[in-house]
Structure 1
Amino acid sequence: MNQTTMTKSVIVEKYRQEFPATQSLFIDFGGCVIETRVNNSDLLANLNNYFKEFLIDTDKGDILITAHECPKADLGLEYTIKQPDPGKTKIKEEFYNLPDGRVVYKRLTGMIFVFGGDENIAIGPCIENSNQVINFINNRFIEYKLNNGCYLGHAAGVIENGRGIAMAGFSGMGKSTLALHLMSRGTTFVSNDRVMTEDNGDSLTMYGVAKQPRINPGTALNNPDLSCIVSPEDKKTFLSMPKEELWELEHKYDALIDECYGKNKFILKAPLSGLVILNWQRDTSETVVKIVDPKERKDLLPAFMKETGLFYLSDSAEKENDTDVDAYAEMLSKTTLIEISGGVDFDKAADACLKFMKEGKI
């Protein structure tokens, strides 16, 4: 294929003809149904297992994705490198903007993702990298919600007693850990790392992403509901490490909600009754929980605000990377913003979150 004449439609047509995808699953993302067609039964089994709580029996979806297990492809494109996020050094992604879409190339795995408009395709060693296919599927839903007016938030979410609460924090603050502490105390999961917030005029709704939590060994070993995912050999190694070193490990485990907490404990839509910002540190100071005004504490909002990234294509120029702090402050004024500062105390934070969800106050 010639780079100067390359279009998304040309790539999609070529790979759908050469590697026909005929097996489908339908995933219900809180009202938006994504059909994913694949050309390999092992890949289908992987996706069915991961998304099993959200599968529905239908023959019609709102969005179509095809995933094609095939050798690593060379599209002959001169990619642009995506610079690593702050604090990271490894280059993982490159991209090329087509006249009608975008190509993202995963340097470490050789996976290629092409998307734009109503055509979405994954190409390459999909079975070996099913986690990247899963992320691609979730990102199509994120794009769909953002293009329908939602705000993107970097947060975990749970719901109890009809009140949903999202938890955000600057890097390493433990939003996912707090969400899982709350799960151990009876709440229902909404999202692990991203929420899309919909402004309903006088209230907010949050939409979660069907992504299972990935947790570090420290989180797993300090929660009885999660310790089962760590092998006895790993437990012995981790428990012999200094606490600070344990929490800094890059090693991650998938904690499937249904296996750790039971069936029907993961939904993807809930009222956003409150947003918790974790603004604490690992010391012995007292943990402080208080309600704050988002318009007066705009310094906290970047902990929640999230840029859209490579896998988002806006349907209008105005929406591209819209991370305006004033817009977020205005939107969040329609919910309750709670700051938790001082020393890290997950039990006290969980107590405050549960009280808020049950009583509407802290």
Structure 2
Amino acid sequence: MSGVTVQDIVDCLAPVKATRNADPFCLSVGGYVLEIRCTSNELLAELLRYFQHVITAPAEPDRIVHVLGPVELPFAVSFADWAREPGKTGRKDAIADLENGRLIRKVRTGVQFLQTPDWSIAFGPTENNPNQVINFINTQILNHFQRQGWVACHAAAVRTGGKGLAISGLSGGGKSTTMLRLMEVAGTQYVTNDRLLVRQDNTVTNALGIPKLPRINPGTIVTNERLSGLIDEEREEELKNLEPDELWHLEEKYDLFIDDIYGPGRISHDAHLTDFWVLNWSRDSDAPTVVSKISLNDRPDLLAAIMKSPGPFYQTSEGPFWTDRSPLETSAYLSALKDIQVWEVTGQIDFDALFDAGTELLGQP
């Protein structure tokens, strides 16, 4: 870093922060309050729309997130690529470690983030990349609760009055499609689509979703009648004519606003977790879909579908930042999930069969 410090970067960003022309707003998740300060009115409007269900009255924030526009740093920063997870290819994040801070750059877009104990600042072409800003805001929530002892699961989740069901699987394994199908069960609420925080509290397993709306693929849309109209008719017709294998591997993402599709009051990020499905089914199988009770102590191999690295933005409570070589503690997950029933889903991919199983499970007291 050639002696560049956190304060050097903050000083360069200060004139941009001073020009902010949009009113800040606060959001709250699990009692943790973030204040968002944004220099772009256009981007602010997108953030207000996106986080509308967790916006709260102005309050003393636990953390302030600054969202700035383009800034040219007057010094060179040496970045190193952050290693992708197994199965992922291409360059995504690059990091530059400072004393008690880290600068993260998104390789494809050029958006940069300063993460320190005192600062959370996004800058660069943020207005053109709102989803990366949204992810950065949600990262602050994940960071806080992980420092409080919660573990982060790669899972979607829904809840009813008496049940909380998480759903994990390999990327593209159908957890979002399953979760949205289960939203058709009477009394269900959306908890999260991709990140679920879990912590054991005496005999209760608490779960907390982040305000990240489902970002779904075309296969999820064209196989769910309720989602018809989410994309234009011409594109939807093209997708319906694709071969199943083509549709499965198509890389397109669409934001789904739960309130727009399912109506108001269908989101609750807090849940008591009672059950966990691990999707270990296969498109190549002809066997019927089966949902079987298992113990993670006997099947630690399934933890790979559940555990999720905190990522390059995470600074531990002890001080050091997470690295792409830091090991995940399987014991922490086994402890957090020890009092819930885990199920393995095997056989062919049959969303109708899984919906029937979910209807029966979620309907139980």
- TM-score category by the smaller chain? over 0.9
Residue 78 of structure 2: aligned partner? 78
**Is 2:329 aligned against 1:331?**
no
Counterparts of 1:74 and 1:125, CA distance in 2: 17
CA deviations on 1:291-337 (whole Å, 9 max, x unpaired) are: 11121111111110111111211122699545222332232121111
Q: Does the 8 Å CA contact 2:158/2:164 hold for their aligned counterparts?
A: yes
| Superposition deviation, residue 74 in structure 1 | 6.3
| Superposition deviation, residue 169 in structure 1 | 0.9
Q: Which amino acid aligns with 1:228?
A: G
Counterparts of 2:162 and 2:6, CA distance in 1: 43
CA RMSD of aligned residues (A): 1.8
The secondary structure found in structure 1 opposite 2:46 is helix
Distance 1:226 1:116, change over 3 A: same
TM-score by length of 2: 0.93
Distance 1:319 1:8, change over 3 A: closer
Mark the runs of 5 or more structure 1 residues left unpaired by the alignment.
none
Distance 1:109 1:72, change over 3 A: farther
| Superposition deviation, residue 73 in structure 1 | 4.8
Q: Which amino acid aligns with 2:101?
A: G
Q: Does the 8 Å CA contact 2:182/2:355 hold for their aligned counterparts?
A: yes
Counterparts of 1:354 and 1:205, CA distance in 2: 22
Mark the runs of 5 or more structure 2 residues left unpaired by the alignment.
none
Counterparts of 1:87 and 1:76, CA distance in 2: 32
| Superposition deviation, residue 340 in structure 1 | 1.1
Counterparts of 1:61 and 1:86, CA distance in 2: 37
Residue 273 of structure 1: aligned partner? 274
The secondary structure found in structure 2 opposite 1:59 is coil
Counterparts of 2:7 and 2:158, CA distance in 1: 39
Counterparts of 2:75 and 2:165, CA distance in 1: 44
Q: Which amino acid aligns with 2:7?
A: S
Q: Which amino acid aligns with 1:239?
A: K
Q: For 1:158-307, what aligned pairs fall within 5 Å after superposition? A: 158-186=158-186, 187-282=188-283, 283-307=285-309
Counterparts of 1:280 and 1:288, CA distance in 2: 9
Counterparts of 1:319 and 1:125, CA distance in 2: 25
Counterparts of 2:182 and 2:43, CA distance in 1: 33
Counterparts of 2:78 and 2:321, CA distance in 1: 27
Q: Which amino acid aligns with 1:194?
A: R
Out of 354, 358, 361, which is 1:349 matched to? 354
CA deviations on 1:14-68 (whole Å, 9 max, x unpaired) are: 3133332362111111211111101121111010011111111123211111011
Q: For 1:12-161, what aligned pairs fall within 5 Å after superposition? A: 12-20=10-18, 21=20, 23-71=23-71, 73=73, 75-161=75-161
Counterparts of 1:307 and 1:80, CA distance in 2: 18
| Superposition deviation, residue 71 in structure 1 | 4.5
Q: Which amino acid aligns with 1:35?
A: E
Counterparts of 1:74 and 1:222, CA distance in 2: 51
The secondary structure found in structure 1 opposite 2:126 is coil
Q: How many correspondences in the alignment?
A: 358
TM-score by length of 1: 0.94
Counterparts of 2:5 and 2:320, CA distance in 1: 24
Q: Which amino acid aligns with 1:337?
A: V
The secondary structure found in structure 2 opposite 1:228 is coil
Comparing 242-251 and 83-92, the one that deviates more:
83-92
Counterparts of 1:316 and 1:45, CA distance in 2: 37
| Superposition deviation, residue 75 in structure 1 | 4.8
| Superposition deviation, residue 160 in structure 1 | 1.1
Counterparts of 1:164 and 1:33, CA distance in 2: 24
Which runs of 4 or more aligned residues in structure 1 lie more than 3 Å from their structure 2 counterparts after TM superposition?
A: 71-75, 317-322
The secondary structure found in structure 2 opposite 1:291 is strand
| Superposition deviation, residue 189 in structure 1 | 0.5
